[in-house]
């Protein structure tokens, strides 16, 4: 049994990180009699002059509803370089970090992060240092887990934004465009679009066409709805084009909402406005689901370490927390299935994805012709 474990948070923050930290500390101390060291500023905190803090049940008291991470998060790129799209892990910093962990008396690590951070965590495991990962991203695009904490809070915020845009769109007969996060996958746009009654949802998985957007706006107009609400994931792409970047150098996405606004105004003659939700989706208090999931992930991560597991990540599968190999967690991205149930439900209720092939009928009443004839496998009705 480990006497002392470390915990760190890496990558972008997500509501629920503090819930995980609190559960890790309470479980490690209360259930297993370990001591717990918080490593500040991600893996950077165990390089050079190390930055750590002893975590006690007192230091984590009151942090459950708090947004962000009490440990801070940084990525200065010391541990991983991207070469031709592939992560390369230089040997030096990991060697130094493991030596520092030894000096600090930290025998095992719990690492909270997305694919980038968990990829680094796996390198520690490969060098024999015990590590358990906890998946984190508001984008919910890690393949091995059904949900990541932070995602449900982000949906709540995006849904509230859509509700608010609805009334102003209707009052002014405008097209309102809400740009939400989602680099590789459109989960936030899809879920919030359904919950917030968007008319058009644009996601990276289904390239859109401006003709289809304009036809949907016109179809709504013909049916007497003189406003249209669009939710677009930051990584959505126009058919045949690439993503819209606010800064191509850093590959920072942003601006797709405004790109769409300009063309929609030109094509439909209607006034349009764009709102970029940005980091409002990541800041602030986690909702009840994310507090609960974060707490369960944290406690299960300590139990996994205590039972001798390493090189694994906690994951939610069929409603239960299990562990999966870290490499499985880091290598595959979970994208929205374009013929999946939620996309079909959205289309059934009249939401357009502005795919070029959506027919006039589908644009008006939401029936995608591809689904008129059932694609369900025999003997298994697909709901």
- Active-site residues: which are they? 139
> Is 257 a residue that touches ligand F6P (CB under 6 A)?
no
Among 5, 7, 9, 12, binds ligand F6P (CB under 6 A): 12
Q: How far apart are CA 378 and CA 381, in angstroms?
A: 7
- Interactions with ligand F6P, residue window 125-154 (CB under 6 A): 137-139
Residue 253 sits in the site that holds ligand F6P (CB under 6 A): yes
Q: Does 113 bind ligand F6P (CB under 6 A)?
A: no
Which residue among 182, 193, 196, 350 contacts ligand F6P (CB under 6 A)? 182
Of 64-72, 99-107, 175-183, 358-366, which segment contacts ligand F6P by CB under 6 A?
Answer: 175-183
- Tell me the closest approach of the beta carbon of residue 245 to ligand F6P, in angstroms: 10
Which residues, 195 to 234, sit near ligand F6P by CB under 6 A? Answer: 234
- Cβ proximity to ligand F6P, 17 vs 305, nearer residue: 17
* Smallest distance from ligand F6P to CB 40, Å: 17
Q: How far is the CB of 187 from ligand F6P (least distance, A)?
A: 10
Which residue is nearest to ligand F6P, using beta carbons? 181
145-163 burial, b for 16+ CB within 10 Å, e for fewer? Answer: bebbbbbbbbbbbbbebbe
51, 126, 183, 370: which one contacts ligand F6P (CB under 6 A)?
Answer: 183
Q: What phi and psi, each to the nearest 5 degrees, are found at residue 107?
A: -95, -15
**Per-residue interface string for the shown chain with ligand F6P, residues 66-105, x marking contact by CB under 6 A:** ----------------------------------------
Cβ of residue 193: shortest distance to ligand F6P, in angstroms? 16
CB of 17 to ligand F6P, least distance (A): 12
Q: Which stretch binds ligand F6P (CB under 6 A): 44-52, 81-89, 181-189, 320-328?
A: 181-189
How far is Cα 209 from Cα 197, in angstroms, rounded to an integer? Answer: 21
Residues forming contacts to ligand F6P in the complex (CB under 6 A) are 12, 137-139, 181-183, 234, 253
């Amino acid at each position: 049994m480990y006497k002392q474990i470390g915990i760190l948070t890496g990558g972008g923050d997500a509501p629920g990180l503090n819930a995980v930290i609190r559960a890790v500390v309470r479980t490690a101390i209360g259930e297993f009699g370990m001591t717990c060291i918080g490593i500040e500023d991600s893996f950077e905190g165990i390089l050079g002059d190390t930055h750590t803090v002893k975590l006690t049940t007192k230091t984590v008291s009151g942090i459950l509803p708090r947004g962000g991470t009490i440990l801070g998060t940084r990525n200065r790129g010391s541990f991983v370089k991207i070469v031709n799209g592939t992560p390369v892990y230089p040997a030096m910093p990991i060697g130094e970090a493991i030596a520092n962990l030894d000096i600090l008396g930290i025998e095992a690590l719990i690492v909270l992060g997305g694919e980038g951070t968990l990829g680094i965590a796996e390198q520690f495991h490969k060098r024999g240092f015990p590590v358990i990962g906890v998946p984190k991203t508001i984008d919910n695009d890690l393949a091995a887990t059904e949900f990541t904490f932070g995602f449900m809070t982000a949906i709540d915020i995006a849904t509230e934004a859509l509700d608010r845009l609805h009334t102003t769109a209707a009052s002014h007969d405008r097209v309102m465009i809400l740009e939400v996060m989602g680099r590789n996958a459109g989960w936030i746009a899809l879920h919030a679009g359904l919950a917030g009654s968007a008319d058009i949802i644009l996601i990276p998985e289904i390239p859109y066409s401006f003709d289809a957007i304009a036809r949907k706006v016109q179809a709504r107009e013909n049916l007497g709805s003189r406003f249209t609400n669009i939710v677009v994931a930051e990584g959505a792409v126009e058919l045949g084009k690439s993503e819209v970047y606010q800064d191509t150098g850093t590959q920072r996405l942003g601006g797709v909402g405004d790109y769409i606004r300009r063309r929609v105004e030109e094509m439909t003659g209607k006034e349009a406005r764009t709102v970029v939700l940005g980091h409002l989706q990541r800041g602030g208090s986690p909702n009840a689901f994310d507090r609960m999931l974060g707490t369960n992930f944290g406690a299960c991560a300590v139990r996994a370490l205590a039972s001798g597991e390493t090189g694994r990540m906690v994951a939610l599968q069929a409603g239960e927390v299990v562990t999966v190999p870290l490499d499985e967690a880091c290598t595959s991205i979970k994208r929205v299935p374009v013929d999946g149930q939620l996309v079909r439900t959205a289309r059934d209720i009249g939401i357009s994805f502005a795919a070029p092939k959506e027919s006039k009928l589908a644009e008006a009443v939401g029936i995608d012709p591809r689904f008129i004839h059932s694609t369900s496998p025999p003997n298994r009705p697909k709901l």
